[in-house]
Structure 1
Amino acid sequence: MSLSSHVQELKRKHHSLSMAVEEAQRAPSVDDLHLSDLKKRKLRLKEEITRLTPSA
């Protein structure tokens, strides 16, 4: 897998987690631990994307 395709896959996963976070926040009985886990996973992906993407 090339670096660019790996970064694209990470971005896809980040977007998917972003949608899951938004959906969980709209839920009336959201589990705070679940929401926190989603946000942490999203942040880790963002950090990895930033690390792998050359700064312009």
Structure 2
Amino acid sequence: MSVSSHLEELKRKHDALSTQVETEQRSPGSSDFDIAELKKQKLKLKEEIERLSVTA
């Protein structure tokens, strides 16, 4: 897998997590812990995207 295609995949996952976080935040029964975990995953993806963008 090339770096650019890997970056695109990471961006798609990041966008999907963004949507999931927004949905969970709007849901009255959602857990703060679950939202925090999703945000951590999203941050890790963002950091990986930034790291790969610098080296690409």
Unaligned runs of 5+ in 2: none
CA-based RMSD: 1.1
Name the structure with the higher helix share: 2
TM-score normalised to structure 1 length: 0.93
The 3-state SS of whatever aligns with 1:30 is: coil
List structure 1 runs of 4+ shifted beyond 4 angstroms: none
Counting aligned pairs with the same residue, the percent is 56
Q: How does 1:1-56 map to 2 (within 5 A)?
A: 1-54=1-54
TM-score normalised to structure 2 length: 0.93
